[in-house]
Chain A
Amino acid sequence: KAGVTQTPRYLIKTRGQQVTLSCSPISGHRSVSWYQQTPGQGLQFLFEYFSETQRNKGNFPGRFSGRQFSNSRSEMNVSTLELGDSALYLCASMLRGGTEAFFGQGTRLTVV
Chain B
Amino acid sequence: DAKTTQPTSMDCAEGRAANLPCNHSTISGNEYVYWYRQIHSQGPQYIIHGLKNNETNEMASLIITEDRKSSTLILPHATLRDTAVYYCIVDNTNAGKSTFGDGTTLTVKP
Name A residues whose Cβ lies closer than 8 Å to a Cβ of B: 4, 31, 33, 35, 42-45, 48, 55-56, 58, 88, 90, 92, 94, 97-106
Name the B residues within 8 Å of A58 (CB-CB).
97, 99
Q: Closest residue to A97 on the B side, CB-wise?
A: B93
Q: Which of B34, B36, B98, B102 has most A Cβ within 10 Å?
A: B98
B95 within 8 A of partner (CB): yes
- Given contacts A44-B100, A88-B41, A103-B44, 17 further A-B pairs with CB under 8 A are A4-B43, A31-B96, A42-B99, A43-B44, A43-B87, A45-B96, A45-B97, A45-B99, A58-B97, A92-B44, A92-B96, A94-B94, A97-B96, A100-B34, A100-B95, A103-B43, A104-B43
Number of interface residues of B (CB under 8 A): 23
Residues 75-110 (chain B) with a chain A CB within 8 angstroms: 87, 93-103
Name the B residues within 8 Å of A104 (CB-CB).
43
Q: Closest residue to A106 on the B side, CB-wise?
A: B43
Residues 55-83 (chain B) with a chain A CB within 8 angstroms: none
CB distance from B94 to the nearest CB of A (A): 6
Whether the pair B87, A98 counts as a contact (CB closer than 8 A) is no
Whether the pair B100, A43 counts as a contact (CB closer than 8 A) is yes
